[in-house]
Amino acid sequence: MAIIHGTTIGGEGILSGVSVEVKSEQFETIYETVSDETGFFSLSVPDGVYPFLTAVREYGDRYLEYWAQNVPAQRELTLDVRIDTVEVYGLHAFHVKGAANALTVYFRPMSLYKFKSGAHDIAPELDKCGITILVDGQQSEIYSLNRVQEYAGEDVGLLTAYLLQASVPQDADEWKRVDVTVRDSDGRFGCATLFR
């Protein structure tokens, strides 16, 4: 058995009562727990790699979700989960073969405040200063940042996403973990983690 544990944190600090769920490929909850009054959570799961882990409290009312993907559960994994009113959705990262030694990162951010205002495109405006990329725990330099349009289906249409290129640690042959934190112009944030 493996242990996934950590602390849940909101914009004001430690956040209790956060639902932490391990999900299947079909987004079905297969393991779950709730963080205690100190923000601590712990899940015992069979060894394996899990497609998704989410964390949320009062979704769509006060907060949006934290996402982790390809979660490696062998022995012990610590995830310090941070949620606020921005969400980093659909995080992907990859090397472009034959290109410069940089990591290409894609995600679609969502703003709770834009959603509540009835805006069609609920992505916050972001710039390089509002995005932090950690590759295997080391902060990356963002080389380029591009706004792109993502087709989100017939009912939704086009939504704003971001595509960027970031540095990778010089001593890393292959990255293992990417953490993305975004902050809008009002300092509201969202976080996500992608494991390779």
Domains of the chain with CATH codes: 2-82 (2.60.40.10), 86-195 (2.60.40)
Both tokens of 163, joined, read 């595509």
Distance CA 168, CA 9 (A): 27
Distance CA 138, CA 124 (A): 25
Model pLDDT, residue 62: 92
Is the pLDDT reported for residue 82 higher than 90? yes
pTM of the full structure: 0.93
Is the pLDDT reported for residue 175 higher than 90? no
Within its chain, how far is the Cα of 146 from the centroid? 18
Average pLDDT over residues 99-122: 92
Give φ, ψ of 114 to 5 degrees.
-65, -40
Residue 71 pLDDT level (bands cut at 50, 70, 90): very high
Among residues 117, 116, 79, 102, the alpha carbon closest in space to that of 194 is found at 79
| Contact predicate 46/72, CB 8 Å | no
